[in-house]
Structure 1
Amino acid sequence: MRLALVTGEYPPLPGGVGDYTRELARALQARGHVVAVWTDRRGGEDAPSSVPVFRVVPRWDARAWFALGRSLRAWGPDGVLLQYQAAAYGLGGAMNLWPAIARLWLGEIPIVVVFHDLRVPYLFPKAGPLRAWSVRFLARRAKGVIVTNHEDEAVLRAAGIRFLRRIPIGSNIMPPSDLPPPSTARARLGFPGDLPLVGFFGFLHPSKGFDLLLEAVAMLTREGAAVGLVHIGATAAPSDPSQRDYAAWCRRRIIELGLQGRVWETGYRPPEEISLAFAAVDLCALPYRDGVSFRRGTLMAALAHGRAVISTFPRVSIPELQDGDNIFLVPPDDVKALALAIRRVLGDPDLRLRLERGARMLAKRFAWERIAAQVEEVFQSLSQRLQK
């Protein structure tokens, strides 16, 4: 099949949706499909790649409809996979309408939407209920819908979306086969060799609870525990400038809590250096305020690197997560419980080893080859339906 992937962000811009698109494109290509990516003009010149990238979109407004329509029609896809996250499109609503409008150029070529989350776009002041309506409209006008997690699946099924599949995301940072031991990783990154280190991965956003983790580390420090914190990766996504205010507040909070010299930031780094930072920490704490979810690429990366993960109870049941075996769960927004969990996992080598082994086993479910095969099945099913 000739498959076109449309995304609001793409490397070298940092961002989970862009990284997902790149990895999925590679995996689909490895399965024998002809794949290309369509995005906007940000990011500059693309590095050499087997996956062509068409940077044809000037802005994610009505102009995107015409730019995508003309370019896609000339390329001639058998199917289009639209990556949807409102923030990646600047919180505008133009792409929520695109599957309905794209028929002018693409006819009955199936458009499948991958919802990375169900965050509503801003649209315009006082848009109110129109914001949620625009997300449902996008789901209904697509030929097929893919969600990445149990929570969004429940919401869209309740909204009456029929051709709906749940396909998880994989890790956007794939660990090398020869990760160095922690001592080597720490020496290369300039981290202290004898201090227990907790890792946090991803952009700083209130929903990810980095401020809660700061409070927990400060609580442990006041109690005399030796522990440090490493923020792995970039601070804010280019597609969501609102994150910068939260990041600035967190930096001020580090000073207020007296954590200078206890918190390290790697900043944006190439994948091999991100993997090095994962190797350097003793565990990963991801205290999501809205509960752990398989839509979180930060979780997938921690699992793929075989880290012991502390996170928060999910909003809906996720049978694959086994508390105490492949993840350690605490209530959301509970600093004391988070601090106690960090102390327990750091102080119990057997528990930490069990969590690391469980993480590696769980990560096998999210291999890109497996994800690409499921996406392929979606388009094959749609093709059979259209032929009837």
Structure 2
Amino acid sequence: MTGRRTVAVVTPYYPPKAGGVERYAARVAAELAAAPDLEPVVITTASRGLRTTDTVEDGVRVIRLGAWLRVSNTPLSPLWPVQLRRWLHRTGAVAVNGHAPVPGLGDLAVVVAGRRATVLTYHAGSMHKGEPGSALADRLIAGYERHLLPRVMRRADRLVAVSPVSLAAGQPHAERITPGVDLALFTPGPPPSSRGRTVLYAGRLDRTSAWKGVDVLVRALPELPDGTRLVLAGGGDAAAGHLALAQRLGVADRVAATGELPAAEVAALMRGAALLVLPSRTEAESFGMVLAEAMACGTPVVGSAVGGIPDVIEDGVSGLLVPPGDTRALAAACTRVLTDGALADRLGAAGRERSERLYGWDGLMARYLSLLRSLTVDRPEPRPGRVSSRTR
């Protein structure tokens, strides 16, 4: 449209794949689409295959590049430098907003952006996995974080850190804009003390995301009060392994895995759960969006004292923190919430207040768009790009 400046939102992951980075990037794209002076184009990766697609999804142009391989859940392709330059030119983008939870597409877009304005949003703390069999991957990640990532960050006009442990935090040209919550979707349920004893985990269930610590939560289940159920909401190739672990522990009848769910169904599960648990083990968990979403539902939360989680949960006020990887401590904290109705209600109410005050998307995205406008105001108007008639 005439007068609108195109911003390329470049992210390795995008809906329908579910996760914190995907929701953050999708929200940025939606806000740009609603703005009178800015227009988004999303450049992301295809879930499978090498073919590039150019479609319109929910009113946003989405270009999906093929990936030649995936290393520890990170899509990669040697063609991306050429493809990114070509698509930035074709779409008339005057700015690039790269989202980088892992090495790859988002930071590469900043490098090849040329004279375009660039904003790099860095979602992760250190991506060291620290898991058995990850030594080689950890060495590669260490080299990237020590030698390459600082150069990319210096190249960007501005950085956005999503939490204090984001590797962008503390840089002189960084601004902190956390993930947010759709407060119209994630609304309070009944008082937690009146809910059934359901413990909820919502998030990835991938083998490459073993640092999420879901196995710790499954191991804690036998120590929780009788009648407690565990619901694992999310997709991934590790789900079967968690169910097998529950079988070995004798609690298979108390565990359910839902698979990938749309946001509305996740919100419904949160409103009905007695508590939500995020048992991550490493600083790769730089924020924990599901915590803020559960808090918005008035649901008590328990999380590991690692990464950005302590910045979201005020221990003893809006939730409880436990040492990462400590099954007994996790079980004890969950039991406190499940058996003390007054505590559960107090945590739930404080969590809702905190989520409303700090994590509403509207206020966060107003700051984001202000940042993008400040960098694009003097850029020339983009030429309109070709939009495919194929839609999803």
TM-score range, shorter chain: 0.7 to 0.9
Whole-Å Cα distance in 1 between the matches of residues 138 and 267 of structure 2? 42
Structure 2: gaps spanning 5 or more residues: 69-75, 129-133, 380-392
Offset at 1:252? Answer: 2.1
Q: 1:174 to 1:211 in 2, by over 3 A?
A: farther
Query: Corresponding residue for 1:67?
Result: 83
**Given that residues 305 and 322 in structure 2 are in contact (C-alpha distance below 8 angstroms), is that contact kept between their aligned partners in structure 1?**
yes
Matches within 5 A, 1:1-388: 1-32=5-36, 33-42=38-47, 48-56=57-65, 60-86=76-102, 93=104, 96-103=107-114, 108-119=115-126, 127=140, 130-132=143-145, 133-152=147-166, 156-157=169-170, 161-171=171-181, 175=185, 196-204=197-205, 205-220=209-224, 225-234=226-235, 236=236, 244=237, 246-290=238-282, 295-315=287-307, 321-364=313-356, 365-382=358-375
The one-character-per-residue Cα deviations of 1:123-163 (angstroms, maximum 9, x if unpaired) are: 9997575322222222122221111111125x753xxx321
**Given that residues 220 and 328 in structure 2 are in contact (C-alpha distance below 8 angstroms), is that contact kept between their aligned partners in structure 1?**
yes
Q: Provide the TM-score with structure 1 as the length reference.
A: 0.79
Offset at 1:283? Answer: 0.9
Structure 1: gaps spanning 5 or more residues: 183-192, 237-243
**Given that residues 23 and 172 in structure 1 are in contact (C-alpha distance below 8 angstroms), is that contact kept between their aligned partners in structure 2?**
no
Whole-Å Cα distance in 1 between the matches of residues 213 and 305 of structure 2? 13
Whole-Å Cα distance in 2 between the matches of residues 128 and 200 of structure 1? 27
The one-character-per-residue Cα deviations of 1:296-351 (angstroms, maximum 9, x if unpaired) are: 22223222322110112245795664222211122222222211111111111111
**Given that residues 282 and 307 in structure 1 are in contact (C-alpha distance below 8 angstroms), is that contact kept between their aligned partners in structure 2?**
yes
Structure 1 counterpart SS, 2:180? coil
Which structure's residues are more often strand, by fraction? 2
Amino acid at match of 1:289: R
Name the stretch that deviates more: 22-31 or 64-73. Answer: 22-31
Offset at 1:120? Answer: 5.4
**Given that residues 308 and 355 in structure 1 are in contact (C-alpha distance below 8 angstroms), is that contact kept between their aligned partners in structure 2?**
yes
Q: 1:124 to 1:287 in 2, by over 3 A?
A: closer
- What is the alpha-carbon root mean square deviation over aligned residues? 3.5
Number of residue pairs matched by the alignment: 353
Whole-Å Cα distance in 2 between the matches of residues 270 and 316 of structure 1? 25
